[in-house]
Chain A
Amino acid sequence: MSDQYDLSKLRTRVKRQIEKAVPDAKIDYCLTCGLCASGCPASGIEDMDPRKFLRYLVLGQNDIILKTNWIYSCSLCQRCKYACPMGIDVGRIVYEVKGMRPKEERPTNLQRSCDLQKAGNSTGIPDADFVWVVGDILEEVHELEPEWADLQAPMDKIDAQFYLNQNAKEPTVEPEEMVPLWKILHTVGIDWTYSSKWWDGANYCLFPGDPEDWEYTVRKQAETVNELGCTTYINTE
């Protein structure tokens, strides 16, 4: 038997809340053509797809929207928006819905990655460890690879032209993966530096749905680079 929906009054609270945060959300523009669903690898997961998700919003089915865990399968990849005739960014809308979920009801690790990042970096290693690991690995290269004896990994160098961020995964679990990039930068001969704080290139606060957290970490990174006086911020991705 089909689900039953009694629409004596359209309950558009969630839709309106999203539209307030995202004025060009265009949820109502949806033509239900299914183009998004046909292009979305997450279609079918949790019996949901981007078209259905928008449809529940249009029909005011707020309980379904707020309850579905499909929002954690939507990777906000925007492939739907890329070709949608109305240019509807389902990922952007999902982001807002993620933020509507009370923190305590969110997937634990998702929230924790952000909380850690807000404290410095996403794996939670102390900044001093990062500085130490960089130095340690560099020393190892100097010892084992004489042809790279002059390799450098500058830290907090003021007025270097380039600032390089560093995903926290490498210093935490596979530090030797940092070396190739140092070698490349060294070969090219650019003037670059790491920072000993807010050095993590990842930004997990984009994912749980709280813009203020996201803003906080990006602001911290920007302040750091501004202080160092670098004119170019290299993202390692």
Chain B
Amino acid sequence: MYATLEGLRRFNIPHNFEVVSIITLYAQWIRDGRLKVDPTWNTEGLKFSVQDPCKLVRQSLGDPVADDLRFVIKSVVGEENFIDVWPNKSNNYCCGGGGGALQAGFVANRRQHGKTKFDQLNATGADVVITPCHNCHTQVMDICEHFGGKWQTTHLWGWIVKALKR
């Protein structure tokens, strides 16, 4: 998100379109009633937490998109099944996988960086951590495994489909 938005701005690249995040659209569609979701599938009370991708939230769209993200998750898994992290939204920690860290090697350093994120997510006790960013997804999954976490790391879309009412 940031790479595109900031790239268009910084290099003054001509374009005839606006750039939006799918998260914003999910929230809009649920509010509009175009996307009908029902959390009753979550009979076992699976607990969910979330990672706010830096590039999407802090660096691009700020708290509104983070609020949308939470709204969508709560709509899909049930309000009571969402456990937020602290700090969160625009002030959330980076997972440690961004900025090329996942590609750069220095695995021990990357995991040391990710330890903060691990401790934070682990403290929620959530069963599932939703990561709407591919980098975050890879890193959160890696630190979970490396530091012995118990959660499952997933994208958001699968859960939406699970809750979908057509």
Contacts and interface: CB of A to CB of B under 8 A. Distances in A.
A contacts B directly (C-beta below 8 A): yes
B152 to A, nearest CB: 14
A229 B15 CA distance: 10
Interface in A167-210: 167, 169, 177, 180-181, 183-184, 187-189, 202-208
Given A73-B113, A91-B99, A237 B56 contact: yes
Nearest to B135: A202
A206 B2 CA distance: 9
A226 interface: yes
B123 interface: no
A8 interface: no
Nearest to A236: B22
A73 B100 CA distance: 9
Contacts of A41: 93-94, 96, 113-117
A52 to B, nearest CB: 16
B22 A78 contact: no
B164 A233 contact: no
B22 A109 contact: no
Contacts of B166: 147, 187
B132 interface: yes
Interface residues of B, number: 65
Interface string B5-38: 0011011011111111111011001000011000
A82 interface: yes
B35 A184 contact: yes
B113 A45 contact: yes
Contacts of B132: 237
Interface in A64-109: 69, 72-79, 82-83, 91, 107-109
Nearest to A163: B17
Contacts of A113: 100, 103
Q: How many interface residues does chain A have, given as a range?
A: 35 or more
A221 B15 CA distance: 10
A74 B96 CA distance: 8
B3 interface: yes
Interface string A29-52: 000000000000110111000000
Interface in B102-157: 103-106, 109-110, 112-117, 132-134, 138, 155, 157
B99 A234 contact: no
A3 B115 CA distance: 29
A17 interface: no
Contacts of A202: 3, 134
A183 B29 CA distance: 14
B19 A235 contact: yes
A188 B3 contact: no
B93 A79 contact: yes
A75 B25 CA distance: 27
9 contacts: A72-B105, A75-B101, A79-B91, A180-B160, A215-B11, A226-B17, A235-B21, A237-B1, A237-B134
Interface of A: 41-42, 44-46, 69, 72-79, 82-83, 91, 107-110, 112-113, 147, 163, 167, 169, 177, 180-181, 183-184, 187-189, 202-208, 211, 214-215, 217-219, 221-222, 225-226, 229-237
